[in-house]
Amino acid sequence: MTPSARFAASIDLLTAMEAAPRKPADAVANSFFRERRYIGGGDRRAVSGLVWDIMRAWRRLGWHLEQQKAVLSPRLLAASSLIFKGVSTQEIAALFAEGRFAPGALTRPEQDIIKFLEGKTLLDENMPQAVKLELPDWLLPKLEETFGDALEEELAALSEPATLDLRVNMLRTTRAEAQKALAREGLHAAATPLSPWGLRLNGRQPVTSTSPFKEGIVEIQDEGSQLVAAILGATPQTRVLDYCAGAGGKTLAIAMMMENKGHIAACDVSEKRLEGAVKRLRRAGVHNVEQHLLQAGDKWAKRRSGSFDRVLVDAPCSGTGTWRRNPDARLRTTQQDLDELLVKQAEILDRAASLVKPGGKLVYATCSILNAENTHQVEAFLARRPEFKLVASDSPALPESMKGVKMFSLTPKQNGTDGFFAAMLERTAETVTA
């Protein structure tokens, strides 16, 4: 594709995203490229690269355009993104006008706006703090509460591209052997500092087409997510419930900790997500998992009340800890979404809690960095359910620096992982089960 055609495709992709504001940007991009198979790999990376850069600067670009009383159109966003990268007005005008597939020449008002922005910096000292930090206004106080003085540094780390972490399947091999197997395919991974099972690659790499992946020797899983499975401390002798198991990321890690013995019930309300786990379980050689689709009026949970040694609630959450991977989510999350999630998380916790055996353990986890979904949710649960208390995890899989923790909050800035939270709770032994 010519530079103009790539530029036009970027504007088209932004337009498609604008038309589906509630849909995650990567899902829109996937269908956009699926419908345009003629766009090859290199062009696709260039088009997405420009669009993702625009998304990372959305509020700041919008602020500059608002100062000009301009409408926030995909054309102007794309043009202004280039001007702040130092591309000249002449070059931008050429990108719009030259060649068969160009987006169409800049109008006079568009030219005036671009000319006005030339020589300015993307970050302006007059911008409100939420704009500078690329946050919706309502989220700023909540993140100030979480991070205090470290807010800017923490958010900067959440804007960086993520590493690609793998979990080695210890049912099949060792971390060193998996490292060698990946190296034979040209992928050089380093051991992760915290998870005993993790390997880290720099940025996006074609892991899924390698034999170690196809043979179930490695799975893609952020180190933070591995540590959530680790804190549960499941053993081959335990009966485990993974209450929000989804496509099985943590189920797989738990099954490995249990050496493929004992029993895991993996539940979810989404049939599609549970189905997504089937292939992964098979690939990893895991066979101690029973899946169950939770449905209204279902007797399954009632029959198993008070019967699990360990229960994991990997709750549906705002996903604010994964902003490195989904820069658009940063602006898509609304106060209403959060309010609904808070209610749902409390309900799920209460339901899952009834399934914990007296003396058994419950881990509540999210990939959120908001106190409302994390510590506040745990505090409210403890106030409602006095038969539970926070306890130190006895898991041998946790690294030295985290041994015996009752709760942890991980962030990209402090730990190099996605943002994750986990709390370990115990049901007192003398509780009478319902």
Ligand X SMILES: C[S@@+](CC[C@H](N)C(=O)[O-])C[C@H]1O[C@@H](n2cnc3c(N)ncnc32)[C@H](O)[C@@H]1O
What amino acid positions are annotated as catalytic residues?
Answer: 367
When asked if residue 198 is in the footprint of ligand X (CB under 6 A), the reply is: no
Query: In 10 A of CB 326, how many CB atoms?
Result: 16
Residue 58 is a binding residue for ligand X (CB under 6 A): no
- Using CA atoms, how far apart are residues 221 and 267, in angstroms rounded to an integer? 19
Q: What is the DSSP letter of 261?
A: -
Is 314 a residue that touches ligand X (CB under 6 A)?
Answer: yes
Is residue 366 within a helix (H) or strand (E), and if so which, with residue range? strand 356-366
CB 127 within 8 A of CB 74: no
- Give CA–CA dist 368/346, Å, rounded: 15
Site for ligand X contains 110 (CB under 6 A): no
**Of 45-53, 264-272, 296-304, 373-381, which part binds ligand X (CB under 6 A)?**
264-272
Q: Which is nearer to ligand X, 87 or 269 (CB)?
A: 269
Q: What are the binding residues?
A: 268, 314
Pick 221 or 411: Cβ nearer ligand X: 221
**Window of 22-30, 152-160, 239-247, 412-420 that interacts with ligand X by CB under 6 A:** 239-247
Q: How many residues comprise the chain?
A: 434
Binding-site annotation, residues for S-adenosyl-L-methionine: 268, 314
Smallest separation, CB 32 to ligand X (Å): 25
Query: What is the nearest approach in angstroms of ligand X to the Cβ of residue 10?
Result: 31
Q: Alpha helix (H) ranges present in 98-207?
A: 108-117, 129-132, 139-147, 151-159, 175-184
Bridge partners of 363?
312, 424
Residue 243 binds ligand X (CB under 6 A)? yes
Is 265 a binder of ligand X (CB under 6 A)?
no
Position 244 contacts ligand X (CB under 6 A): yes
Residue 130 exposed, middle or buried by CB count within 10 Å (0-12, 13-18, 19+): middle
Question: Side-chain half-sphere of 425: how many Cα atoms within 13 Å?
Answer: 30
CA distances from 159 to 52, 133, 228, 322, 412 (A): 11, 10, 23, 10, 9
Provide the minimum distance between the beta carbon of 243 and ligand X in the complex, in angstroms, as a whole number. 6
Q: What is the DSSP letter of 402?
A: G
Q: Does 250 bind ligand X (CB under 6 A)?
A: yes
- List the one residue from 348, 356, 370, 397 that touches ligand X (CB under 6 A): 348
Using CB under 6 A as the binding rule, whether residue 316 contacts ligand X is answered as yes
Query: Is there binding between residue 413 and ligand X (CB under 6 A)?
Result: no
> How many chain residues bind ligand X (CB under 6 A)?
17
Contact flag: residue 268 with ligand X (CB under 6 A): yes
Q: Which residue has the tokens 């780390």?
A: 157
Strand order in 198-201's β-sheet?
190-191, 198-201, 164-168, 218-220
Stretch touching ligand X by CB under 6 A, among 7-15, 59-67, 98-106, 268-276: 268-276
Tokens encoding 147: 């991070």
Q: How far is the CB of 313 from ligand X (least distance, A)?
A: 8
**247 binds ligand X per the rule CB under 6 A:** yes
CB nearer to ligand X: pick between 57 and 313: 313
One residue of 249, 321, 360, 419 binding ligand X per CB under 6 A: 249
The yes or no reply on residue 87 touching ligand X (CB under 6 A) is no
The token pair that represents 190 in the structure block: 């380093």
Confirm or reject binding of residue 222 to ligand X (CB under 6 A): no
- Interface residues with ligand X (CB under 6 A) are 225, 243-250, 268-270, 273, 294, 314, 316, 348
